[in-house]
């Protein structure tokens, strides 16, 4: 059995609490021969700023490059609102994504049957939902230059962000989208704003050309991103895989999260290019939810998105599909038993804390594996 090197980055807010449940799971899998994981840990975000005056250290960048996968909690919080922009907690995460070239951010939104009541939408709209938002993660307005605030000297300031995309950036993420769709229901929806943005015009053109060249067997559809947002809450089951840019993807994936009952349910995988020699690719796995400072330290956070993110690492980085399935089934089983963290509670269910939910999921794994 191969040993997998993991870099664990708990981060800020509820990050360390939900990461504790992944650590428990890793220890259990190591102990029971379900995997061999070697773990190291690092500070990134506000906690790193407090300790070292920067949001990420060079030695952490080096560890991240050497790891087989990075398992990331969450960063940020009001405590660091006044920190210099370059050292704000989010900068550490953005640097990891950018410098490690992890351009393809896979955010599956799956509505577990037991949770259809927790969504703010009607049951028949979300029950059985299984879609993927594929977000471009290393380009667009997040990283485009210039990115400035200039004092105009007349009591006015001017802020500039730049949305920029090159052909190759659009093509490589679209390719991931077509390939994902092929293994699922064979439909890809591309979202942009070609009616107002040049990047939208190019996005549409590149996706259309790639489809004609390499993926004619996959159904391709284009939607304007605003209309797509509306369709996502009107009838989300029309989608299979949605591919979109960095900023639209950030927003649409939060919307998609709520379809599943809670932001606390959504995992994600951020992948780089596959190295043709080693067949390996850089990868970071993190929940879509943030650091939730309002509930941090209370032991109330939902660890499911974090645990499901670890399951994605098994699936996408280590070829451990069977073990990943086992984790997903254990999550569904714990929910089916009526266990809920506060964010997904509904009538007739039992509210438990972070640790109890983590232990219950491991308990279900033990039962299912036996």
Stretch that binds ligand IPM, among 87-95, 188-196, 276-284, 299-307 (CB under 6 A): 87-95
Closer residue to Mn ion, CB minimum distance, 169 or 250: 250
* Binder among 240, 250, 323, 343 for Mn ion (CB under 5 A): 250
**Is the CB of residue 120 less than 8 Å from the CB of residue 343?**
no
Site for ligand IPM, residues 23 to 82, rule: CB under 6 A: 75-76
Which of these is catalytic: 142, 165, 285, 316?
142
As measured in angstroms, the least distance from the Cβ of 33 to ligand IPM is: 34
Annotated catalytic, 250? yes
Comparing CB distances to ligand IPM, the nearer of 75 and 301 is 75
Stretch touching ligand IPM by CB under 6 A, among 57-65, 88-96, 115-123, 237-245: 88-96
Give the shortest CB-40-to-ligand IPM separation in angstroms.
22
Judged by CB under 6 A, the residue of 192, 250, 323, 364 near ligand IPM is 250
- Interaction of residue 286 with Mn ion, rule CB under 5 A: no
DSSP state of 337: T
Residue 244: both structure tokens together: 């979109």
User: Residue ranges of the alpha helices (H) in the chain?
Assistant: 15-31, 46-52, 58-66, 89-99, 123-126, 167-182, 198-214, 225-234, 246-259, 304-316, 321-336, 354-369
240 contributes a contact to ligand IPM by CB under 6 A = no
Q: Any contact of residue 236 with ligand IPM (CB under 6 A)?
A: no
CA distance 350 to 262: 16
- The SS3 assignment for 148 reads strand
Distance CA 357, CA 253 (A): 24
How many Å is the Cα radius of gyration of the chain?
20
3-state SS class at 343: helix
Residues forming contacts to ligand IPM in the complex (CB under 6 A) are 75-76, 90, 93-94, 250, 288
């Amino acid at each position: 059995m191969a040993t997998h090197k993991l870099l664990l980055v708990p981060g800020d807010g509820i990050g360390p609490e939900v990461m504790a449940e992944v650590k428990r799971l890793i220890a259990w899998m190591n102990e029971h021969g379900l995997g061999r994981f070697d773990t190291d840990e690092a500070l990134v975000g506000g906690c790193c700023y407090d300790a070292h005056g920067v949001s990420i250290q060079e030695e952490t960048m080096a560890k991240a490059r050497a790891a087989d996968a990075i398992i990331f909690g969450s960063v940020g919080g009001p405590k660091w609102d006044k920190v210099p922009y370059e050292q704000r907690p989010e900068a550490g995460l953005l640097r990891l994504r950018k410098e490690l070239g992890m351009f393809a951010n896979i955010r599956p939104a799956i509505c577990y049957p037991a949770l259809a009541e927790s969504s703010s939408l009607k049951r028949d709209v979300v029950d059985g939902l299984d879609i993927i938002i594929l977000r471009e993660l290393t380009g667009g307005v997040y990283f485009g230059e210039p990115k400035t605030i200039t004092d105009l000297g007349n009591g006015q300031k001017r802020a500039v962000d730049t949305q920029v995309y090159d052909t190759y950036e659009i093509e490589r993420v679209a390719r991931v989208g077509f390939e994902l769709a092929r293994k699922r229901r064979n439909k890809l929806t591309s979202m942009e704003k070609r009616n107002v943005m040049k990047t939208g015009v190019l996005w549409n053109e590149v996706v259309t050309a790639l489809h004609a060249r390499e993926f004619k067997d996959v159904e391709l559809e284009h939607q304007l991103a605003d209309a797509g947002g509306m369709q996502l809450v009107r009838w989300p089951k029309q989608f299979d895989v949605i591919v979109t840019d960095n900023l639209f993807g950030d927003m649409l994936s939060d919307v998609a999260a709520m379809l599943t009952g809670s932001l606390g349910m959504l995992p994600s995988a951020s992948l780089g290019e596959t190295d043709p020699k080693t067949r390996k690719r850089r990868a970071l796995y993190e929940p879509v939810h943030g650091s939730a400072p309002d509930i941090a330290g209370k032991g109330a956070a939902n660890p499911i998105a974090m645990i499901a993110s670890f399951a994605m690492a098994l699936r996408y980085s280590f070829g451990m599909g069977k073990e990943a399935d086992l984790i997903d089934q254990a999550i569904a089983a714990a929910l089916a038993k009526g266990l809920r963290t506060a964010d997904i509670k509904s009538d007739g269910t039992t509210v438990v804390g972070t640790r109890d939910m983590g232990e219950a999921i491991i308990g279900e794994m033990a039962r299912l594996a036996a």
